[in-house]
Amino acid sequence: TQPINLIFRFLQNRSVVVINLFYKKKVISGIIIGFDEFMNLVVDDACEILLNSEQIKIGRILVRGDSILLIYENFSIKNN
């Protein structure tokens, strides 16, 4: 599976994903609603997840593709 195909599957399924960012070691959770060929992501209902598991709601954000270290589906949160 190509990385773009996996991101497209997350987008189609409206999966809640966790995105680990390279810079400042931040962790973001949300729903991918758009992306481009550079893997820039538009994420809706975004929250920053802190080390103590506290979440700070951010809203809709754009994540630059070159700052993404890891993306995975968050199975503990089901989105209908």
Q: What is the pTM of this model?
A: 0.88
pLDDT for the residue 45? 97
Residue 8 φ then ψ, to 5°: -65, -40
Q: In 3D, which of 20, 55, 25, 57 has the Cα closest to residue 41?
A: 20
- What confidence tens digit (pLDDT) does each residue in 14-67 have? 999 999 999 888 999 999 999 999 999 999 999 999 989 899 999 999 999 999
The pLDDT-based confidence of 6 (bands split at 50, 70, 90) is very high
